[in-house]
Amino acid sequence: MKIAFFSAQAYEKPFFEHTATAYPHIKIDYFSQSLNQKTAVLANGYDSVCVFVNDDINAQVIAHLASNNITTVLLRCAGFNNVDLTAAKAHNIKVLRVPAYSPEAVAEHCIALMLTLSRKTHKAYNRVREDNFDLNGLLGFNLHNKTVGIIGCGKIGLALCNILNGFGAKVLVSDPYALAGNYTLCDLNTLLRQSDIISLHCPVNEHTHHIINDEAFSKMKPGVMLINTSRGALVDSKACIQALKSKKLAYLGLDVYEQESELFFKNHSDEILQDDVFSRLVSFKNVLITGHQGFFTQEALSEIANITLRNAQAVKNNQPLINQV
Ligand code: NAI
């Protein structure tokens, strides 16, 4: 099986090359370009494409892949909102993903965002480097006894819930499919009204697109913290800006952003950013943005490589496709 590996980054190649030694019949060529209509031609002559979160596998790309006998899309991530599944099905293209590689990696990143925002360690780091030991402006708050609302309690939401229970926080969960657990189940409105911190862990779909909008902010407590490590389109960024300006939203931690495909995973430090909404978000002192690195641990990269190549092997050997979308 020949795999065209799109959006390849230097940090992931060693993990795939190491894992691939156990799969002598799989050959991988790495392309730094993202997969989209313009670059789909690079996949000609391959059996599969391997893609990540910001590759755009729309109906035209699927049609191109199908017409070049490419049978498989191997997602090396959990989310699949960037693949036109209807088109893939119509062209008989298999789509496989890595449903879970390290929910703890993302959950721990949420905690990093929460603690950095609440204890202002990013500001303290800079102050101490300038020999400034003034504590004014660094006043934080405890997670202990705070109410944390988790919207979407699947693998990552549950891992976060387990950590938060260790902090002594009260955890509320809104998830239409969640069973009882070590949290209090409630509806979305109750969660929005009662939470001191809200963290998003549901997928993006027609029910959850901009689930955090002006109306949602109007229901929240003044001084609330919002964390989004799930998908950018869950949050209306312009509503966030208004909520930050009115001080309703006192802390915002983002690892994802609705227009991130133009920005993330690349170095734009020599350019003038054209995204005014993003630039405004970055300008707030109480906003912390990371560039989709929640998954980015050694353990997770190793697991992503293992499961992706196992998925490829299963396709090649006509074995059951347990990770087919
Ligand atoms: P999962 O599928 O295990 O859990 C998602 C949960 O959301 C499920 O329990 C489901 O019942 C719930 N849900 C569905 N519709 C809902 C709604 N309308 N309201 C509330 N809950 C709803 O997914 P997992 O693995 O926990 O991933 C969660 C999100 O994190 C995904 O969007 C994924 O793309 C994102 N993610 C982000 C990463 C990062 O690096 N920042 C890395 C990996 C995943």
Residue 167 CA, ligand 1 centroid: distance in Å = 22
- pLDDT of the chain, 325 residues: tens digit per residue: 999 999 999 999 999 999 999 999 999 999 999 999 999 999 999 999 999 988 999 999 999 999 999 999 999 998 898 999 999 999 999 999 999 999 999 999 999 999 999 999 999 999 999 999 999 999 999 999 999 999 999 999 999 999 999 999 999 999 999 999 999 999 999 999 999 999 999 999 999 999 999 999 999 999 999 999 999 999 999 999 999 999 999 999 999 999 998 899 999 999 999 999 999 999 999 999 999 999 999 999 999 999 999 999 999 999 999 999 9
Instruction: Answer yes or no: 231 catalytic.
Output: yes
Q: Do 233 and 171 sit in the same domain of this protein?
A: yes
Instruction: Answer yes or no: 303 catalytic.
Output: no
Q: Whose CA is nearest to atom 8 of ligand 1?
A: 154
Q: Do 305 and 165 sit in the same domain of this protein?
A: no
Q: Which of 12, 76, 97, 260 is catalytic?
A: 260
Query: What's the pLDDT score for residue 94?
Result: 98
Q: Do 86 and 109 sit in the same domain of this protein?
A: no
Count of structural domains within the chain? 2
Q: Which of 12, 64, 292, 303 is catalytic?
A: 292
One-letter identity of residue 167: F
Q: Whose CA is nearest to atom 4 of ligand 1?
A: 154
Q: Which of 231, 258, 268, 271 is catalytic?
A: 231
Phi, psi for 249 (deg, rounded to 5)? -95, 115
Ligand 1 atom closest to Cα of 234?
Answer: 32
Q: Name the one residue in this structure whose structure tokens are 């065209």.
A: 4
Q: Whose CA is nearest to atom 42 of ligand 1?
A: 295
Judge whether 232 lies within some domain: yes
Query: What's the pLDDT score for residue 103?
Result: 94
Judge whether 323 lies within some domain: no
Judge whether 91 lies within some domain: yes
Ligand 1 atom closest to Cα of 103?
Answer: 25
Query: Around Cβ 284, how many Cβ atoms within 10 Å?
Result: 16
Task: Show Cβ contacts of residue 5 under 8 Å, excluding neighbours closer than 6 positions.
Answer: 16, 28, 29, 30, 31, 49, 50
Q: Do 282 and 311 sit in the same domain of this protein?
A: no
Residue 42 CA, ligand 1 centroid: distance in Å = 32
Judge whether 322 lies within some domain: no
* Domain containing residue 150: CATH number: 3.40.50.720
Q: Do 94 and 129 sit in the same domain of this protein?
A: no
Residue 246 CA, ligand 1 centroid: distance in Å = 29
Q: Do 109 and 73 sit in the same domain of this protein?
A: no
Q: Is 79 helix (H, G, I), strand (E, B) or coil?
A: coil
Instruction: Answer yes or no: 260 catalytic.
Output: yes
Residue 202 CA, ligand 1 centroid: distance in Å = 3
Give one DSSP letter per residue of 132-198, joined into a string.
Answer: ----TT-----STT-EEEEE--SHHHHHHHHHHHHHT-EEEEE-TTPPSBSBEE--HHHHHHH-SEE
Q: Whose CA is nearest to atom 2 of ligand 1?
A: 154
Instruction: Supply the angle between the helices 276-283 and 237-245 in degrees, to the nearest 10.
Output: 30
Cβ proximity of 5 and 55 under 8 Å: no
Q: Which residues line ligand 1 (CB under 6 A)?
A: 78-79, 100, 103, 106, 151-157, 174-178, 201-203, 207-208, 229-231, 255-256, 292, 294-295
- 3-state helix vs strand vs coil in the chain, percent to 5: 35, 15, 45
Q: Whose CA is nearest to atom 15 of ligand 1?
A: 202
Query: What's the pLDDT score for residue 1?
Result: 96
Residue 141 CA, ligand 1 centroid: distance in Å = 27
Q: Do 266 and 151 sit in the same domain of this protein?
A: yes
Query: What's the pLDDT score for residue 262?
Result: 87
Could you tell me the end-to-end alpha-carbon distance of the chain, in angstroms, rounded to an integer? 20
What is the rounded distance in angstroms from the CA atom of residue 147 to the CA atom of residue 112? 17
Q: Do 72 and 211 sit in the same domain of this protein?
A: no
Kindly list the distances between the CA atom of residue 15 and the CA atoms of 12, 43, 52, 55, 70, in Å, as whole numbers in the listed order. Answer: 5, 22, 15, 20, 24
Residue 226 CA, ligand 1 centroid: distance in Å = 16
Q: Do 87 and 190 sit in the same domain of this protein?
A: no
Ligand 1 atom closest to Cα of 295?
Answer: 40
Query: What's the pLDDT score for residue 109?
Result: 98
Query: What's the pLDDT score for residue 302?
Result: 97
Q: Do 83 and 8 sit in the same domain of this protein?
A: yes
Q: What is the extent of the structural domain holding 93?
A: 2-101+298-316
Instruction: Supply the angle between the helices 298-316 and 13-20 in degrees, to the nearest 10.
Output: 50
Its sign, for the CA torsion 81, 110, 12, 22, is negative
Query: What's the pLDDT score for residue 79?
Result: 86
